[in-house]
């Protein structure tokens, strides 16, 4: 995760200087976008935003409090969240994740309580609002550990962000509330655990999130995940859900990207480097770009590609073969 300084906001109360740094979750933002990522971004923005023409907004159907984007790894789900309302200062986008340095805690993995799950859900929200890096458990220490007598919801998260961390990016200068999009990456990590809960606890978790749904200014949720269990949990609890997927494009449309990789790889300064110095540019492009050269390589060469370190990635034998001119020219189809 890296932090990009997005905008300086002065809270409407006048007593808080809220320097809100939207935390982008993807490690790389490629210039070449293939597949249907931009189409899905547009559909989500049209659906949740209040200021769009209704005929355009309704391309996605009725308004949904929950939108789920379900795909396997390396389909660009994280990059999708980063691109939502990326040029709208009037909409507060909080990106949070159940991966990386905010993996599930032992209390979430072994617990069967919606209250504990909600505590850590909104703790992640606060973790993404504060402008400096803190481990999730350190945020917990500062705001106080779980208390069964406390109701953990958006109101609690906002007030805690303001009172403990002096962060209030949720208001305009005149004190009115901004529209808020809560973008939750890899939410299926939590819902997989929640499948083991009893029905009442499942309903309490989803019901609490659904109660945060607002209009004008809006509060909406976008979740990403690996499986339909996330969608099933939401629907079982009676929530209205729209499911979207990022599609693998035909790899012929990846031709510009692969040629760009080949051109970089053939530059003299890269050609003489050891594999352990495999260029960061290519590693990030292959790992993070929808259209999925990584999947193409897996199917073409029969080798499993994982999100490894750069050195480990460089040692995989397909790295040199994928840049071979014959492969680039002849192996566009599986």
Asked if 236 and 258 sit in the same domain, the reply is no
DSSP 214: B
Coil/strand/helix, residue 212 = coil
Asked if 221 and 261 sit in the same domain, the reply is no
Report pTM: 0.75
Domain boundary among 244, 260, 280: 244
- With residue 17 as reference, give the H or E element that holds it: strand 17-20
Nearest residue to 299 (alpha-carbon basis) of 275, 261, 327? 327
State both tokens at 278: 């495999």
Nearest residue to 49 (alpha-carbon basis) of 208, 241, 245, 216? 216
pLDDT of residue 67: 93
Domain boundary among 182, 209, 244: 244
State both tokens at 277: 């110095």
Asked if 193 and 101 sit in the same domain, the reply is yes
Per-residue tens of pLDDT for the chain, all 334 residues: 333 333 333 333 344 445 677 888 876 666 656 578 889 999 999 888 865 555 554 454 556 789 999 987 767 788 899 999 998 988 999 999 998 768 899 999 998 899 999 999 999 999 999 988 889 999 999 999 999 999 999 999 999 999 999 998 998 888 889 999 999 999 999 999 998 899 999 999 999 999 998 877 899 999 999 887 888 888 877 778 889 988 765 555 555 655 666 666 666 565 565 544 555 555 555 554 544 455 555 555 555 555 445 455 555 555 555 555 454 444 433 2
Asked if 67 and 215 sit in the same domain, the reply is yes
- Distances in Å between the alpha carbon of 151 and those of 96, 154, 208, 239, 262? 20, 10, 10, 21, 55
Domain boundary among 193, 209, 244: 244
DSSP string computed for 273-305: S-GGG--HHHHHHHHH-TT-HHHHHHHHH----
pLDDT of residue 328: 43
Asked if 158 and 202 sit in the same domain, the reply is yes
Asked if 235 and 296 sit in the same domain, the reply is no
Asked if 169 and 38 sit in the same domain, the reply is yes
Asked if 63 and 212 sit in the same domain, the reply is yes
CATH code of the domain covering residue 137: 3.40.50
Is residue 47 within 8 Å of residue 63, measured between CB atoms?
Answer: yes
- Distances in Å between the alpha carbon of 67 and those of 18, 47, 118, 320? 28, 10, 19, 40
Asked if 171 and 276 sit in the same domain, the reply is no
Asked if 21 and 100 sit in the same domain, the reply is yes
In the chain, how many domains are there? 2
Q: What residue numbers bound the domain in which 262 lies? A: 252-330
Coil/strand/helix, residue 228 = coil
Asked if 291 and 142 sit in the same domain, the reply is no
Asked if 66 and 201 sit in the same domain, the reply is yes
């Amino acid at each position: 995760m890296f932090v990009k300084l997005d905008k300086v906001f002065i809270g409407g109360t006048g007593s808080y200087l809220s320097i809100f740094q939207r935390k982008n979750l993807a490690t790389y933002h490629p210039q070449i976008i293939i597949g249907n990522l931009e189409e899905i971004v547009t559909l989500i923005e049209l659906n949740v935003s209040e200021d769009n023409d209704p005929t355009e907004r309704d391309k996605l159907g009725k308004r949904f409090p929950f939108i789920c984007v379900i795909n396997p790894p390396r389909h660009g789900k994280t990059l999708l969240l980063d691109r939502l309302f990326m040029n709208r200062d009037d909409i507060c986008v909080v990106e949070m994740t159940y991966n990386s340095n905010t993996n599930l805690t032992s209390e979430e993995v072994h617990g069967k309580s919606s209250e504990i799950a909600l505590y850590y859900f909104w703790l992640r929200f606060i973790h993404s609002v504060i402008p400096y890096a803190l481990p999730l458990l350190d945020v917990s220490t500062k705001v106080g550990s779980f208390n069964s007598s406390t109701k953990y919801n958006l109101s609690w998260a906002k007030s805690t962000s303001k009172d403990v961390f002096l962060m209030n990016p949720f208001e305009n200068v005149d004190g009115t509330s901004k529209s808020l999009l809560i973008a939750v990456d890899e939410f299926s990590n939590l819902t997989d655990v929640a499948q083991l809960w009893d029905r009442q606890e499942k309903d309490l978790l989803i019901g609490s999130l659904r109660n945060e749904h607002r209009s004008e200014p809006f509060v909406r949720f976008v979740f990403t995940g690996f499986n339909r269990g996330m969608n099933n949990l939401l629907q079982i609890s009676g929530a209205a859900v729209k499911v979207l997927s990022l599609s693998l494009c035909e790899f012929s449309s990846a031709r510009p990207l692969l040629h760009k990789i080949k051109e970089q790889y053939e530059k003299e300064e890269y050609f003489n480097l050891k594999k352990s110095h495999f260029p960061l540019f290519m590693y990030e492009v292959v790992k993070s770009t929808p259209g999925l050269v990584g999947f193409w390589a897996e199917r073409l060469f029969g080798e499993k590609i994982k999100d490894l370190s750069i050195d480990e990635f460089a040692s995989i034998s397909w790295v040199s073969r994928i840049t071979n001119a014959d492969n680039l020219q002849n192996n566009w189809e599986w």
